[in-house]
Structure 1
Amino acid sequence: MTIRIPRGTADILPGEVEKWHYIENKIRDLCRRFNYAEIRTPIFEHTELFQRGVGETTDIVEKEMYTFIDKGVRSITLRPEGTAAVVRAYVEHKLYADPKQPVKLYYIGPMFRYERPQAGRMRQFTQFGIEAIGSKDPLLDAEVIAMAMQFYAELGLTGLRLELNSVGCQNCRPKHREALVAFLEEVKEELGPEDRSRLERNPLRVLDSKDPKTQELTKNAPSILDYLCEDCRPHFEAVQRYLDELNIPYVINPRLVRGLDYYTQTAFEIMVEGIGAIGTICGGGRYNGLVAEIGGQDKPGIGFALSIERLLLALEKQGIELPVTDGLDCFVVTLGEAAKRQGFKLVHQWRKAGLKVEQDFLDRGLKGQLKSADRYQAKYAAIVGEDELAKGVVVLKNLATGEQQEYAYAEAEAFLLKQREQGVGV
């Protein structure tokens, strides 16, 4: 019986993984410029972290988590998202005491959700996210949103749509909840079982329903924007003013509530044209009560997260080719046992110098080795035969032009390094 990969997972093979490297390098450069430091948290956490942090009535906690009992009879969950784990680390390691505030962190890593696999949506997926904890300034909200928009723009994505909302706070939500529940009670019998359940436990999430009938029934539901308190309204207005300062266009969507319970005030999503049902490629917002919920001092926070799989799908749909190559600086071709030994030494030396070099391992002849060099997309072939070995030289052949010239070993290394620096190599 052949063992196959589990459903909802993917192998990222050579030829594709280089795109991931390119995006990850873009992420790290972007975060460097915005002064976000990398944090790495465990792939699994105590289940309670996500129950308390994400919310017990969310789809993630109710339906999608990979949870198991370990040998210590503890309930453990593979992380379904990154924010709760980062906030747990922030509290546990007392990062709130760092003199540099707010604390600005980013992560890249695998997340796990048991949901129906489809293009760009996997059961194991890779998430890039940022968290800025320790400030309630709306300027920080605008910076976080601008950072996400800039990331996509630098990759060349077009047709982006930023949707923005405020989901209020513990002061203004109760009045909106009361009005919303009264409205939903009028249509309760027409709601599906899942949305009726949400009405009982977390009515705001009915507005997040994917059921077209529910969406139609609730199109005139009371808007949270009509109930914002004296703290939330000016905060939301300030976020908009800062985005206007940067000429970042946005659309106010009062139905945007996000799928996680920890959001307060600012909530946003970035959509992109052309990828069907998974048009949302980034989401985020404020979570001013989450640090306290997880057991720390009450500190405000904001962040976003995005799936690299969805990003790659969006790039593919828009026909954007990432500038990646997997070619070699040089392929060393040897003829004869003595030349093979010398070639082995050259390969090792040139790799130490920083060149990307390969050689033959199948005892092929000159023609076969040159074909291998072409398959590896080598820029140059370094040929060592009996004559070259006797003179202490190699023949460097430009595989694009066919031009070739003899060089002493050290000179060949210097030439190849120069070509690499000038972009002629890989």
Structure 2
Amino acid sequence: MNFLQKPRGVKDWFGDELVYFNWIVKKIRSLAFNWGFSEVKTPLFENAQLFQRSNANADIVQKELYQFFDKSQRELALRPEATTPIVRLACENKLMQEANFPLKLFCIGSMYRYERPQNNRFREHWQFSCEVFGFSNLFIFLDTLLFANSLLEALGITGYVLKINNLANFETLSKWNKALKDYLTPYKLELTELSQKRLEKNPLRILDDKIDQKKSFFKNAPKITDFLDASAKQDSELLKTQLKKHNISFEWTDNLVRGLDYYTGFVFEYVKNQDTILAGGVYDNLVEELSSNPTPALGFACGIERLINCLETDKKAFILNTKPKQMLVICLFEEALEELIWLAKLWREYNQVTVYPKVIKVDNGIRLANRLGYTFIGIVGKTDFDKKAITIKNLVSKQQTIHTWNELGERKVF
């Protein structure tokens, strides 16, 4: 294995992609603060049992968990998702108290899943996660959904479909799970190999299989609506009414389930080009399961890589235009180079400046600046040096101006 080659399933961030990444993260963080969320950071690794308890039957635990033993033989795991670590953080640090409700927390960081790398799916991926603790009603769900809508709108992402379902509670899910297993068992050999395994442990996850979904016998499979009580059905109708009232387009999707075990109540996904770009829902039992302290909760997450992939070409051009304008300063003779190395320190108070560390010809300097992505080139020749001036050329517009050295140290020039 070539040690100079990155491991399979991870990505290096640099150039334009990193500009998009930083722009999205900055936008999301600003919007989250506006919606009353506080930022938290959790460790990259946790006790493996934390995820094994909260998602025992989920693929991220059964097949995709990066887990290992440290030198003291403690079983640890790289975080595959952020909700469970945020719950752990809030419980351990005594934030999960009624006086703090609604407790609104968000986290931006890298997650890890050992899965087969494919288009837009990496073993290391970056994610924004937000969680709301202490309330579980239609209004807090609507508020969270509106936040998700506003986030995509702020990023200029359109053309998605919002899918929603009501999973009610664990009792309802258990009934649906059993009915689905009973219905699909006669068709077991017609299911994909993965679905055959899921049929024994978690039949609801078969609903995520895009191949099996297209098979004719799936049309008559039990739906969760067959098991909802009157109260859950009323909640669904109230939500539909509110969404229509606020002109939020949606598809009610009876077979929508989330890939994590802890979801109950309303769940949702924003889908674009068959990829889920943002998803979440209610998980009223997770806090109690981990801490024995009943606390309603809901939240959602979105992958930064998926969001970048959804940016339109004109939006990407706009983002690149917002990055700081930088100038490469070249010197045409040795004496100027020695002086400008010291002067540039003062110029950087207001301007982004790099001094090329050896004498270079103008044409070569311009080619270099263009190749390295600089917007401006600053040229100091003998005449400029004698006047304590610098000629600044915009490499995009080709416009050229002359400024004194003092100007660059006193204000933003470009």
Query: Please, what TM-score do these two structures have when normalized by structure 1?
Result: 0.87
Partner residue, 1:173: 173
Q: Which letter does structure 1 place at the counterpart of 2:108?
A: I
Report deviation, 1:314. Answer: 2.8
Q: Tell me how large the CA RMSD over aligned residues is.
A: 2.7
1:376-395, aligned counterparts within 5 Å?
Answer: 376-395=372-391
TM-fit CA distance, 1:382: 3.3
Map of 1:324 onto structure 2? 320
- Once the two structures are superposed, residues 26-48 of structure 1 have per-residue CA deviations (whole angstroms, 9 ceiling, x without a partner) of 11122122121211111111111
- Give the structure 1 partner of residue 106 of structure 2: 106
Distance 1:150 1:311, change over 3 A: same
Query: Which consecutive unaligned segments of at least 5 residues does structure 2 have?
Result: none
> In structure 2, do the counterparts of structure 1 residues 328 and 244 end up closer, same or farther at CA, with 3 Å as the change threshold?
same
1:336 corresponds in structure 2 to 333
Does the 8 A contact of 2:350 with 2:410 survive in 1?
no
**CA contact 2:330–2:360 (8 Å) conserved in 1:** no
Contact 1:393 1:406 in 2 (8 A): yes
Structure 2 counterpart of 1:5: 6
* Letter of the structure 2 residue corresponding to residue 134 of structure 1: G
Contact 2:325 2:374 (C-alpha < 8 Å) held by counterparts: yes
Post-superposition offset of 1:197? 4.0
Taking the aligned partners of 2:44 and 2:303, their CA distance within structure 1 comes to 16
C-alpha contact 2:337 2:359 (8 A) present in aligned 1: no
Count residues with an aligned counterpart: 412
Query: Which region of structure 1 is more displaced relative to structure 2, 242-251 or 382-391?
Result: 382-391
Query: Which residue does the alignment assign to 1:349?
Result: 346
Q: Deviations over 1:210-229 (max 9, x none)?
A: 44278543322222123223
Residue 366 of structure 1 aligns with which residue?
Answer: 362
Single out whichever of 239-248 and 377-386 deviates more from structure 2. 377-386
Residue identity matched to 2:311 = L
Tell me which residue corresponds to 2:89: 89
The aligned counterpart of 2:267 is 267
Structure 1: tracts of 5 or more residues without a match: 420-424
Q: Structure 2 vs 1, CA of residues 245 and 34 (structure 1 numbering), >3 Å: closer, same or farther?
A: farther
Amino acid at match of 2:354: E
Secondary structure of the equivalent of 1:127? Answer: strand
Deviation, 1:316, is 6.1
Q: Aligned equivalents of 2:401 and 2:278: distance in 1?
A: 52
Distance 1:360 1:61 in 2: 51
Distance across 1 between alignment mates of 2:159 and 2:311? 12
SS of aligned partner of 2:219: coil
- Alignment check: 8 A CA contact 1:394 1:412 kept: no
Q: Is the 8 Å Cα contact of residues 327 and 378 (structure 1) preserved in structure 2?
A: no
Deviations 1:295-321, CA, capped at 9 Å, x for gaps:
141111111112122222233699854
Q: Which residue of 2 aligns with 1:311?
A: 307
Alignment partner of 2:294: what SS? Answer: coil
**Aligned residue in 1 for 2:37:** 36
Q: Taking structure 1 as reference, are residues 345 and 241 closer, same or farther at Cα in structure 2, changes over 3 Å only? A: farther
**What TM-score do the two structures reach when normalised by structure 2?**
0.90
